[in-house]
Amino acid sequence: MYIDDIRRNLVSSIETLLTVWDRGLLPMDEMRDPRDILCRAIKRASDPSHVPNGKPSSASDSDMQSTLALPHVTNRLELSDEFWDAADALWSFVSNHDQTNIIFECQSQECFPDGGKWFLSRINKIRKKDYVPSDQDILSVRSSSSKSMETIFTVDSIRYHMFDVAGQRDQKGKWLQCFNNISAIIFVMPTSEYDVVLPNNPEDSNRLSESLTVFLNLWNSKWLTRKSVILFINKQDVFSAKIASGRSKLEDYFPDFRDYATPSYATSNPEDNPEVVRAKYFVRNEIMKITTASNTQHVCYPHFTTAIDASIRQVFDSCREIIYNANAQHSNIL
């Protein structure tokens, strides 16, 4: 069930690479043929009617532009060997040039998947007909949801009932009903997307600002005043790399960061970059200001996380303890 989603993520990554390419970060003439092949193949996979009689048409500038404008591929992918060869050639070319700078530019684009670099590096595995996704492939894949998803699973003999309402923030009246009789809410904050601009959103300038607004509305909802919130301050790996590089400055999007000082309670390792530590606690502080600004009866438990890391199990164990303690407190056991 994951293979199509993984290949969609790969196609989105290639689309973003081609967009960045058009900005002049790669010499275009050297890879013109693979670029044209990729544009046609993505267009064909997204809209089969675009290709008359099943034969590829020439990749005109207008075709390329419409291909790159596609937010994602929606139907089942049918990608030819020609596509895979061209994709492999493109990634090999990028790897031999300024890969760090190119990937950095890609990560600032809204349509670039979190696991984009990972999937690009695994093109020759993902293309195989007998391809079986690895655990890391599954952890890295991103898929958009248009409705609430319900999952029931058991860990260490404890049964969990989880509702995923991702993508439903514009239909709050519908997804709030999922929160009846729940033990806790897990809220995932995409910290690394502080520089991902949302041109069609007049209220929020970037995805982190948007997420803070959603969290504010959720925290102050009258339906959730007694529900504990487990907060994942997520994507710390990408966030740390962006801050450490100095290419995309947090203060350009959050001006208050300029005068922010790392708090005395901050914890870090000796090898940690002090600027990264200051930045991640600034984001944490922005969130916690929301939780202390209103008179509510619920508690927020923040965690710095990297969701694609298998060690997320440690955070999951912590969540289980938090849920247990919250239930015990409400039952006057503690």
User: What tens digit of pLDDT does each residue of 115-128 get?
Assistant: 888 898 999 999 99
pLDDT in tens, 209-234: 988 988 898 888 877 777 888 888 98
- Alpha carbon distances (Å) from 298 to 145, 153, 222, 279, 294: 28, 26, 11, 26, 11
Range in 39-53, 95-109, 242-256, 319-333 the model is least confident about: 39-53
- For the cut 70, the answer to whether the pLDDT of residue 201 exceeds it is no
Q: What is the pLDDT of residue 181?
A: 73
Cα-Cα-Cα-Cα dihedral sign, residues 194, 199, 204, 205: positive
Q: What is the pLDDT of residue 110?
A: 60
Q: What is the pLDDT of residue 117?
A: 85
Q: What is the maximal distance between C-alpha atoms in the chain?
A: 71
- Tell me how far apart the alpha carbons of residues 236 and 307 are, in angstroms, rounded to a whole number: 9
- Tell me how far apart the alpha carbons of residues 144 and 146 are, in angstroms, rounded to a whole number: 7
For the beta carbon of residue 65, count every other beta carbon within 10 angstroms: 12
- For the cut 50, the answer to whether the pLDDT of residue 73 exceeds it is no
DSSP 226-264: T-EEEEEEE-HHHHHHHHHH-SS-GGGT-GGGGG----T
- Alpha carbon distances (Å) from 130 to 3, 56, 125: 11, 26, 9
